[in-house]
Amino acid sequence: MLQQVIISGIAYGSIYALMGLAMAIVYKTSTVPNFAQGEMAMISTYVAWVILTSYGASFPVALLGAVVVAALSGITLEFAFIRRAKEPNVLNLIIITLGFQMILYGLAGWRWGADQKRVQLPISDREVIHVGNVAISHLSLATIVIAALLMLAVYLFFNFSRWGTAIRATQQNRVAARIHGVPVNRLLAGSFALSAVVGAVAGLLVAPITTLDPTMMWDPILKGFAAAVLGGLTSLPGVVIGGYLLGIIENLFGAYISVEFKSVVAFLIIVLVLCVRPSGLLGRHYVRKV
Amino acid sequence: MEPFFAVEGLTRRFGGLIALDNLSFQVDPGMIFSIIGPNGAGKSTLFNCICGLYEPDAGRVLFQAETITGEKPHRVARRGIGRTFQNLELFRHMTTMDNLMLGRHLHMRSGVWSGATMFHRGSRAAREEQEHRARVEEIIDLLRLHAARDRYIWQLPYGTQKLVELGRALATKPKLLLLDEPAAGMNLEERQDLIFWIADIRDELGVTILMIEHNMQMVMGISDHVLALDFGRAIASGSPREVAADPEVVRAYLG
């Protein structure tokens, strides 16, 4: 029983970790907490669904379509809204992302309606594999594996590629990065695109478990944000660990204490973390010079 | 002949304040060209206009016979203009090595894929990485930054941080290097070393240097040419000796 609860906690945690990671990627480069992240993922999932059902295309094509639309939505947010803001402070930027979130939410409701749709992935969420005395569905297993691989790739990209170094440099000192030949604007657009792609994968993985509708990402994005706060928004491994921890804690709470209050645990954790250790488990607190 | 570097009629206003007022001058290759002037004379504004952080209201900047006015900072950097800042602008949460490697960024070609699949030492990406590291090592040798190499910037003393910033600018392999008060905050010994290094950078690396500096001992010691600014205008220009004796300069400095 305990192992079963933990394993399914890890599967949920993978989704939270992906959403948290998507937020952390943008936050690390531009210090914007992007509250449109969930809706960007929702739109991408709709696109995949349209490609699958209306055009009858195969899943890889749908995945590709979703990834492309996600990247475009990220670039649009950065290029059309964030970059236009005149000397914005963090609050202005948050308001911009909230505005973009509402635009996307309205757009999805207008185009596809508020009714719930089913997304069929080629991976079943009914068939299970037995490992010891634990049963795990194909979809959960795939979620765990895909999320882990994607997060590993993002981590390696950030820490060992030249663009990763440039992103870290941009976050620490934008002017100096510019002067040393880093095209900062393009880099920011690129990191918004990357984060949207990570979010889109999370959206596709979560869609078969929940259902596809305009509010589908509300829960995952809030949990992802909670995971990011728990682990520390500035540390990518921290965010991922926060995601897994949150998934497991939530599931344990649901199994042994109260199913009704399962969803509330995340917010209790946010409040506790902000009181006790505001920079999160692994996050560093940057003190900004004025 | 087209000048190596020139500023023509450069003007920049901030509201009613004229920071640069129709300023013109030229720099020949291989020179150490110093700019002096009291606080607020427009020296740093000039640097910001050259490297693309500010757009001038009028006039143009010429580099190697091309107009570079209004280009984005990263394009200007690509052309071979490097700079340091008056107040340090380092990546504080990165090591000295990473700061210097970032300076190599604009010379790096390998994409994410070839970098990630760098399996053997002979591959193109591996050779490129080795070449960049070798360049950075040369700079570490030149500025004697060995002890600081793998330490985070915030752990280093101020004088060393200034040197890392100089090294990072050198890592971009500039043809023209803009130094904004390189000796500020340095003690006498560090300043003496800096004078030698700046001369070395010019003589051994063939970099032309445009420098803003307040320390007159340093300016007089190494400059080939000195330009004095006041209220955004050139009030004197010539050899260090001529400028130091100029009555306008004496008046501007001593009131």
Q: How many CB pairs below 8 Å do chains A and B form together?
A: 79
Residue type, A173: N
What pLDDT is attached to residue A125?
76
Best A29, A149, A162 residue to mutate vs chain B (most B CBs within 10 Å): A162
Contacts of A275 (CB under 8 A, 6+ apart): none
Please give the C-alpha separations between residue A285 and each of A89, A223, A282, in angstroms, as whole numbers.
Answer: 19, 22, 10
Q: Identify which of B110, B115, B168 has the shortest CB distance to residue A180.
A: B168
Say whether pLDDT at B112 is over 80.
no
Q: Three-state SS for A281? A: coil
As a whole number of angstroms, the distance between CA A183 and CA B151 comes to 27
- Which residues make beta-bridge pairs with B6? B26, B62
Please give the C-alpha separations between residue B229 and each of A278, B7, B23, B35, B139, in angstroms, as whole numbers.
Answer: 49, 14, 9, 7, 32
Q: Identify which of B92, B102, B116 has the shortest CB distance to residue A180.
A: B102
Say whether pLDDT at B108 is over 90.
no
Q: Residues of B with CB below 8 A from A154's CB?
A: none
Name the token pair of B184.
């500020």
Q: Residues of A with CB below 8 A from B168's CB?
A: 180
Per-10-residue mean pLDDT of chain A, 290 residues long, equals 88 94 90 91 94 88 94 94 86 92 93 86 81 86 93 90 87 89 90 95 90 90 90 87 92 87 84 82 58
Say whether pLDDT at B110 is over 80.
no
As a whole number of angstroms, the distance between CA B210 and CA B5 comes to 10
Q: What is the pLDDT of residues A209-224, one digit of tens each?
A: 888 999 999 999 999 9
Best A168, A180, A188, A197 residue to mutate vs chain B (most B CBs within 10 Å): A180
As a whole number of angstroms, the distance between CA B177 and CA B174 comes to 6
Q: How far is B61 from chain A (nearest CA, A)?
A: 16
As a whole number of angstroms, the distance between CA B27 and CA A81 comes to 42
Q: What is the pLDDT of residues B29-66, one digit of tens each?
A: 999 999 998 888 889 999 999 999 999 999 999 999 89
B225 contacts B33 by C-beta, under 8 angstroms: yes
Q: How far is A198 from chain B (nearest CA, A)?
A: 17
Residue with tokens 């990627």: A25
Say whether pLDDT at B187 is over 50.
yes
Cβ density class A70-104: b for 16+ within 10 Å, e for less: bbebbbbbbeebbeeeeeeeeeebeebbeebbeeb
Name the token pair of A241.
């660990």
Contacts of B30 (CB under 8 A, 6+ apart): B202, B206, B208
Q: What is the pLDDT of residues B1-14, one digit of tens each?
A: 678 999 999 999 99
- The 10 Å Cβ neighbour count of residue B142 is 17
Nearest CA in chain A to B110: A162
Q: Alpha helix locations (H) across B144-213? A: 158-171, 188-205
pTM above the 0.80 mark? yes
> Which strands sit side by side in the sheet containing B32-36, from one edge to the other?
B81-83, B176-180, B208-212, B32-36, B225-230, B233-238
Q: What is the pLDDT of residues A98-148, one digit of tens each?
A: 999 999 999 999 999 888 888 878 887 778 888 888 888 888 999 999 999
| CB < 8 Å & 24+ apart, contacts of A140-144 | A140/A7, A140/A8, A140/A11, A141/A11, A142/A205, A143/A11, A143/A14, A143/A15, A143/A205, A144/A10, A144/A11, A144/A14
Nearest CA in chain B to A176: B89
What pLDDT is attached to residue A21?
94
B93 DSSP 8-state letter:
T
CB contact (8 A) between residue B91 and residue A173:
yes
What pLDDT is attached to residue B120?
62
Q: Identify which of A169, A173, A181 has the shortest CB distance to residue B106.
A: A181
